Structure 1
Amino acid sequence: MNALGRKIYLEMPAPSEEDNLPAEERIFRSLRETVPDLRGQDLHMSIGALRSLNPLCENADWKITVSLSWNGSGWEVVGAERGKSKIPAVGLAVDLGSTSVIMRMLDLETGECMSEAGVYNHQIRFGEDILTRIFYSRDQPEHLEEIRRATVDTFLELMRMLQRKTGIDPQNALSVVVAGNTAMTHFLLGLDAFSVFASPYAVETLQPGFYRGTDLELPVRGWVYCYPGLANYLGGDIVSGLVAVGLYRSEKISLFFDVGTNGELVVGNSQFLLCGAGAAGPALEGGVVKTGMRAAEGAVEAVRMTPDQEKKTEENGILPGSVFHLKTIGGSSPVGICGSGIVDMISELFLHGWINIQGTLQPEKSGLIQRQKVQETGEEELAVCYYPGLWFYQSDILEFIRTKAAAATMMEYMLDVSGIEIQDVARFYMAGSFGAHVDVESAVNIGMYPDVERGRIVPAGNTSLEGAQKLLLDRSLLQDIRQILGLMSYVQFGAVDDFLTRMRAAEALPHTDAERYPSVMEKLKALSAQKERTT
């Protein structure tokens, strides 16, 4: 392994009058003699490790295990143990998301993932969305400290969870790699993030690098590395994602899209990386759907419809369960619907003609489509009942269509501006939790994903976490990160003159230009023919 942390067992001669090197230098000499790749290198020692040497070395007969952590420029001894250590060299990989934070403990000698834990970011109590948190902390040092402390507390909770799962105290971590967007990295470091949002977008740092864990109030032995970003809206989580999928190493052109409340997009290969970011919309996390929710217990994550099998009762009319076949997270009764379920829902409503190409509900199609009062406004609008007490409203549909149009337009524009035809893209990497769980066919049906061979659309999962793990286990990727940043050119979607015009064209289902979606047109024809045969 070429990890950012390592443990090395040493057997050293005891000091004598002829050989009276200090303990620190004695350890450095032994390391250089024992480990070939340390020869000729500058070595350092933390003050904590230095203080522990006396009387440890004498009591251990100068047979000790030292822990080393890479600090960005060289190796630093950050701990010492008597004899051969029984505790493996461990490190932590962290995806620092605005909603959820996920941490993995890894064995730095074998590369094994020992355990993983995830929790909601404690910052949420200061605002569900990043912008609210940014304004809360703007020019308010005490508020910024509250958010920084909440971020640290999130890490501490995850560390406790990992300790319970593995029996190993994460405070022994020899290295920590954190991948997060620019705002999240600022909050971890205790920096004002207002410049992420406000012109001229001169943020405090895009190259955070290595920090002592103790300087961040993280109780780990080793150093903490924060992935760098390129711009205010294109942060370390995206650079980490590119490391994860390896797009920058291939001669073939690929597209990387981290689908979330904000959409970050990169298209390119080993020669260039054109990238941009824009607001895709909170609808992707169920944020603007009235019965929407995060992907949690009871959230509808998959939807299928069989409207030709409607069953009616005198009391209640059509039974939703005879039409909508729902899969929930955890298998419990539905309490709401999350992003992947929303994509399925709109796809099914469209394919079966319950909404038209503008996304307008067609009440003549079913008794499940009725006018319902919207609690927030007190006004009535059409909605479809997908489970007793749960309704999917007309405004929900239109809001999500705007979201999918924004995502599709980002991809379309990026390819156009780079002069790349869609058939020339070898892979479409769809990253993030949304990209991992959404049904590809459903996303194509509504025009959110392009209508290409399905094998070219790759649900890439949590690439932010995967990139953090890869770097933790292979420090040579630090050079790759420099390469990635050097290849990147940033496009500001907000400055594109015809972006809104393109987006309006994409607000049809699947698109105003139906010829772009031949497989969807074939599905519509097949379903229409099937209905004619059964009537």
Structure 2
Amino acid sequence: MTSQKGWSRKYYLELEPPTEEDNRPDGQRILEALETREELKGYRLRMRPAALREAYPLCRESGWKITAVLGYDGDGFTVTRLEAGDTRKEHYALCADLGSTTMVMRLLCMNDGSVKAETSVFNPQAARGEDILTRIFYVKDRPDRLEEMRRAVTAGFAELLEKLEKISGIPLAGCSALVVAGNTAMIHFLLGLDPFCVFQTPYAVRTLDPGVWPASELGIGIDGFVYCFPGRANYLGGDIISGVIAAGIADREGISVFLDIGTNGELVIGNRDFLIAGAGAAGPALEGGVVRTGMRAEPGAVDRVEIREGEIRIHTISEEPPRGICGSGIVDLLAQLFLNGWMDFRGKLVEGASPRICRYEGEPAVEYAPGLFFCQNDIDEFIKTKAAAGTMVEYMMGLLGITLEDVDRFYVAGAFGTHISKESGIAVGLYPDMDRSRLILPGNTSLEGAAKLLLDLSLLRKTGQILECMEYVQFGAVDDFLHLMTAAQAVPHTDFRRYPTVLQELERRGHPLGERPA
């Protein structure tokens, strides 16, 4: 009935009641019954005091027919709760993506792996800074502020649990496992560790492998344990390792590229024989922070743009009046500007190409919606971001002596990759121009990897193997990285031969030759 491979397990026990001849303590009686289960052999078993307190009345009231709820504690399994009768059909556990902008939590049925509910909240820490660097400086050498930010994270988890309970109708306090994936800084915040070391040379962080913690010690309202995915380096956190697990990169013979772009860009290239990873600053141009009218992907955000017959046509989330533009809208807008000749290959707006091209606060801009402008400086910031991401891939593939032809799958991960159009991403040079079937936008791989691990404890060993074999490159330490970026600071690239389908589309549209690089 119930899967016994995951971090949370349930066992139905029919115990013999005590007699004068067999007066073993209740706790011992329960643990010895569990020790006979094949899936638990070799594990150390123990019982939480709270569960032990439940044992005396519960066993007698239920006729010694009980269900033991167990959670993996890093060393073995701990009985976190006892329930009367056979409750194996109601077996649930949790996984979460602890993002700096958005926190996402999923409720899984441990019997069949099905998703019972999923929800998200904006990270409450954002009240002290939209970007994570602002938060890091906010708490530096201020234990009181560090505790404030730790509590903000736990408040986010409390809100997620409350929302999941409301959606599913399932009480979640009895869950014995929560697997969390997050970047190195966010895990430091969760544990109450000063994250300034993540940012400051020599980047000797407080921990890369925090392991398993009692949920109560972290202030998270479940009975069981919380596991935090390990990271590889200060800028390559557990969210990326979780993504590698989700994508199955280390299980295949073919070479995969795994790219996640945000304020930092994280990259992994490899297969079952090797893994090389790197990270570096990419820029927040797709997160709304540096764009004057940028915003999160929430109601009123422009998320799709098309230019038809010289007119800009937009779509907003929830079809509400436009209030700003989010990442997918930015990429669509710039792709359409370029393909329609309103922006040249240098990323410069072509004044006079359309009445929508104007000047706003002293610089060229495009009015993409009434009263909403995307300025030249915004475009310049985007080009730096996409150039950094492209250069990371190019540099790493150069180190390995491979080309795109050698790549079996190219993953663009995260919410960033989920919502951005492949064609728009290719048109502006954010994605490589390759067979679209090999360009994969897998969604929130941080959450998917956490779910995969939650359901299969044996993947913990795989996680360790990935970290052990993974070579790491800090792009900020590459001497000529900024020089290499120069070639990528064009739309889509200074070498148009790398983007044949974009060139074909420009020619189909009659794009003036003078606006293309030679």
For the residues of structure 1 that align with 2:305 and 2:19, how far apart are their CA atoms? 76
For the residues of structure 1 that align with 2:359 and 2:72, how far apart are their CA atoms? 62
Counterpart AA for 1:221: D
Measure how far apart 1:54 and its partner are. Answer: 1.6
For 1:68, the equivalent position in structure 2 comes to 70
1:468-479 equivalences in 2 (<5 Å): 468-479=450-461
Measure how far apart 1:417 and its partner are. Answer: 1.1
> 3-state DSSP class of the match of 2:441?
strand
Measure how far apart 1:333 and its partner are. Answer: 2.1
For the residues of structure 2 that align with 1:234 and 1:382, how far apart are their CA atoms? 37
Superposition RMSD in Å: 1.5
The alignment status of 1:126 with 2:114, answered yes or no, reads no
Between 476-485 and 383-392, report the one with greater CA deviation: 383-392
1:294-309 equivalences in 2 (<5 Å): 294-306=296-308, 309=309
> 3-state DSSP class of the match of 2:393?
helix
> 3-state DSSP class of the match of 1:214?
helix
For 2:479, the equivalent position in structure 1 comes to 497
Superimposed CA distance per residue, residues 426-447 of structure 1 (whole angstroms, 9 cap, x where no aligned partner): 1110001011111111111111
Would the aligned equivalents of 2:130 and 2:289 in 1 still touch at CA under 8 Å?
A: no
For the residues of structure 1 that align with 2:88 and 2:385, how far apart are their CA atoms? 52
Superimposed CA distance per residue, residues 504-533 of structure 1 (whole angstroms, 9 cap, x where no aligned partner): 1111111111111111111111110899xx
For 1:338, the equivalent position in structure 2 comes to 326
For 1:23, the equivalent position in structure 2 comes to 26
Would the aligned equivalents of 2:341 and 2:511 in 1 still touch at CA under 8 Å?
A: no
Measure how far apart 1:489 and its partner are. Answer: 0.7
For the residues of structure 2 that align with 1:411 and 1:172, how far apart are their CA atoms? 44
Superimposed CA distance per residue, residues 172-213 of structure 1 (whole angstroms, 9 cap, x where no aligned partner): 111000000000001101111110000111111001111111
For 1:376, the equivalent position in structure 2 comes to none
For 1:57, the equivalent position in structure 2 comes to 59
Structure 1 regions of 5+ residues with no counterpart?
Answer: 311-322, 374-379
Counterpart AA for 1:82: A
For the residues of structure 1 that align with 2:370 and 2:60, how far apart are their CA atoms? 73
Counterpart AA for 2:100: S
Pick closer, same or farther for the CA change 1:50–1:302 going to 2, 3 Å: same
Counterpart AA for 1:282: P
Alignment identity in percent?
52
Match of 1:184 among 173, 183, 186: 186
TM-score, normalised to structure 2, is: 0.96
The alignment status of 1:253 with 2:241, answered yes or no, reads no
For 1:367, the equivalent position in structure 2 comes to 355
> 3-state DSSP class of the match of 2:193?
coil
Match of 2:403 among 421, 440, 445: 421
Counterpart AA for 1:418: L
Pick closer, same or farther for the CA change 1:297–1:7 going to 2, 3 Å: same
Would the aligned equivalents of 2:339 and 2:505 in 1 still touch at CA under 8 Å?
A: yes
Would the aligned equivalents of 2:117 and 2:167 in 1 still touch at CA under 8 Å?
A: yes
1:227-246 equivalences in 2 (<5 Å): 227-246=229-248
Counterpart AA for 1:11: E
For 2:424, the equivalent position in structure 1 comes to 442
For the residues of structure 2 that align with 1:303 and 1:217, how far apart are their CA atoms? 43
Counterpart AA for 1:474: D
> 3-state DSSP class of the match of 2:442?
strand
> 3-state DSSP class of the match of 1:172?
coil
For the residues of structure 2 that align with 1:304 and 1:287, how far apart are their CA atoms? 23
For 1:165, the equivalent position in structure 2 comes to 167
Structure 2 regions of 5+ residues with no counterpart?
Answer: 514-518
For the residues of structure 2 that align with 1:467 and 1:344, how far apart are their CA atoms? 29
For 1:273, the equivalent position in structure 2 comes to 275
Pick closer, same or farther for the CA change 1:488–1:365 going to 2, 3 Å: same
Would the aligned equivalents of 2:173 and 2:223 in 1 still touch at CA under 8 Å?
A: yes
For the residues of structure 2 that align with 1:103 and 1:212, how far apart are their CA atoms? 18
Would the aligned equivalents of 2:11 and 2:88 in 1 still touch at CA under 8 Å?
A: no
The alignment status of 1:517 with 2:517, answered yes or no, reads no
Aligned residues: 510
Would the aligned equivalents of 1:6 and 1:109 in 2 still touch at CA under 8 Å?
A: no
Would the aligned equivalents of 2:339 and 2:511 in 1 still touch at CA under 8 Å?
A: no
TM-score, normalised to structure 1, is: 0.93
For 2:345, the equivalent position in structure 1 comes to 357
Pick closer, same or farther for the CA change 1:40–1:181 going to 2, 3 Å: closer
The alignment status of 1:4 with 2:7, answered yes or no, reads yes
Counterpart AA for 2:453: L
> 3-state DSSP class of the match of 1:168?
coil
Counterpart AA for 1:441: E
For the residues of structure 1 that align with 2:112 and 2:436, how far apart are their CA atoms? 35
> 3-state DSSP class of the match of 1:61?
coil
Would the aligned equivalents of 1:89 and 1:174 in 2 still touch at CA under 8 Å?
A: no
Pick closer, same or farther for the CA change 1:519–1:52 going to 2, 3 Å: same
For 2:293, the equivalent position in structure 1 comes to 291
Runs of 4+ in 1 over 3 A off after TM superposition: none
> 3-state DSSP class of the match of 1:232?
coil
For 2:87, the equivalent position in structure 1 comes to 85
Match of 1:406 among 375, 388, 398: 388
Counterpart AA for 2:478: V
Between 485-494 and 49-58, report the one with greater CA deviation: 49-58
For the residues of structure 2 that align with 1:392 and 1:128, how far apart are their CA atoms? 20
For the residues of structure 2 that align with 1:124 and 1:291, how far apart are their CA atoms? 18
Would the aligned equivalents of 1:286 and 1:342 in 2 still touch at CA under 8 Å?
A: no
Measure how far apart 1:38 and its partner are. Answer: 2.5
1:148-227 equivalences in 2 (<5 Å): 148-227=150-229
Counterpart AA for 2:33: S
Measure how far apart 1:39 and its partner are. Answer: 3.8
For the residues of structure 2 that align with 1:83 and 1:265, how far apart are their CA atoms? 49
> 3-state DSSP class of the match of 2:412?
strand
For the residues of structure 2 that align with 1:4 and 1:36, how far apart are their CA atoms? 16
